A and B are shown apart, each in its own frame.
Chain A
Amino acid sequence: MEQLNDVAQSGFIAQLGQMINDVLSQNYIFTATTLWHYWDGLVTTVQLVFLSLIIGLILAVPLAILRGSRRRWIKMPVYLYTYVFRGTPLLIQLYLIYYGVVFFDGFDVSYGLGSVHIPSIQQTWLWDYFRDPFVPAMLAFVLNTAAYTTEIFHGAIQSTPKGEMEAARAYGMSRGKMMRRIIMPSAFRRALPAYGNEVIFMLHASAICSVVTLLDLTGAARDIYARFYAPFEAFLFVAAIYLCLTFTIIAIFRQLEKRLLAHLRPLS
């Protein structure tokens, strides 16, 4: 009986080996050229996501503080911004920025005695940046991720334990010093898991940038799909790359959480 099992198993392994061998011997898709194409896509995706996240993070910190202000005229504009950018699809934002900036022709505005010329974007220095799809795509991503990150940080700041703030006040700290030394460090720590999710969402959302001709990972997969008529191979391969990137991000955040949230772990 056992022997029979062994035979069946080795037969299965041999079959599997045969199958893998068949797939590889028929492979005319994954050549040096297409792998290079995927590599270009990977570089673009990582650049785009990384830069967007860094800039978005830098913008989100002051915005989150303003968002928590007691003055209406300070907090309302920030709230409006996060409301709009969280309430509309990223794809629409991308289209609006990419095609929207070229929508206006130059025109003249007349007032009283003279007139002032409003140039179209092609006539200004901005066109050097907006001509290529990278900057418009990055701008859309930055504005989107900054809106979400602002809300994440705002929530974390709001949920700072009262006792910590009372203790800070008892030490005679000013509001600024309290923010810098007590509230922000503890809020950032608590925001870390939610922010990790935002980073992963951003990576996955970046797949849409190929609609404005940016050659990212998904764009590379579409090219290869169109060239070899092989949707399964082209997209499965790119899904595997996204999976690796996601696992890397998860691992990094897990390490960070382990170190930074050590004080919140129960003593076991």
Chain B
Amino acid sequence: MKKYVTRSLMGITLGLSTLAMTATSVQAADVPDPLRLGIDMPYAPFGYKLPSGELTGFEIELGNALCKQLATHCQWVEQDFDGIVPGLLARKYDVIMSALTINPERERQVLFSAPYFTPPSGWFVKADSPLAKVTGALDSEALKGKVIGVQRGNLQDHYVTDLYGQVAEVRRYTKLDDLVLDMDSGRVDAAFLDQPVGQDTLVNANDGNFVNTGTAISEPKKYFGDGFGIAMKQRDRALKKSIDSALEQLKADGTLKRLSAKYFAAEKTTTTSQ
């Protein structure tokens, strides 16, 4: 009997010490290998799949360059946008790189890197819609009784819910594809999206069927925040430092500029470098 107790105690001690050792070795590196990045797809031109199944897009390429800079490997994990922050908190991945705008509400939950891209948001409608002729901002007068489509849980959702939730009907989609289908069939009158996404997924992909209307919106900061950032868990301060300096290097060596030029028409978007 005594023998068993001793043996099992030895086993436990041994197990614990191995555990402690692995824990310290991960901490020493402070960038996990592979680095798991959560992303919601498709979200062209930020992240989407080629017909061959290969992942591509602005964020995919930038993320891969970032991993190279950090001397680690990227492992992309797909996750619907409405669950992307809880997924990080549940450790399904190490960071989020999925067009996630830095804003105070999210900063309560996660730690953000420096922003790597700052797009405005824009309205998209069918070319033959009366809303297509609106110049200037789309206001509650124009949107009265209309059906507005957004992706659930993103800043556009929060913005239209708070501003137009009373006068218009807000439909929230888990996937961008479903919103595009319903825009196409005429079930949704107007979609409010990140400008480059609407431009790519609706306007460019459906020759002349959809147009961008009204003025692009990037104020107030309460909703539109400070651009897209890479999000990680609050305690990963060391990881944030590594990612920030890697982003700085990608800015300095022109990678960021080259990728923006590749994926965004210059006159339609504003890339920032602050």
Contact = CB atoms under 8 A, between A and B. Distances in A.
Given A225-B82, A229-B86, A231-B86, A213 B171 contact: yes
A122 B89 CA distance: 44
B153 A226 contact: yes
B174 A211 contact: yes
A99 B152 contact: no
Nearest to B175: A211
Contacts of A257: none
Interface residues of A, number: 17
Nearest to B170: A215
Contacts of A226: 81-83, 152-153, 157, 172
B182 A213 contact: yes
Interface in A52-110: 99, 102
A175 interface: no
Interface in A170-227: 211, 213, 219, 222-223, 225-227
A122 B182 CA distance: 12
Interface in B45-93: 81-83, 85-86, 89
Interface string A138-179: 000000000000000000000000000000000000000000
Given A229-B89, A231-B86, A131 B186 contact: yes
Nearest to B171: A213
A99 B181 contact: yes
A95 to B, nearest CB: 10
A213 B172 contact: yes
A123 B268 CA distance: 35
Nearest to B82: A226
A220 to B, nearest CB: 10
Interface of A: 99, 102, 122, 127, 131-133, 211, 213, 219, 222-223, 225-227, 229, 231
30 contacts: A99-B181, A102-B184, A102-B186, A102-B187, A122-B186, A131-B186, A132-B187, A133-B171, A133-B187, A211-B174, A213-B173, A213-B182, A222-B82, A222-B152, A222-B174, A223-B153, A223-B172, A225-B86, A226-B81, A226-B152, A226-B153, A226-B157, A227-B153, A227-B157, A229-B85, A229-B86, A229-B89, A229-B109, A231-B83, A231-B86
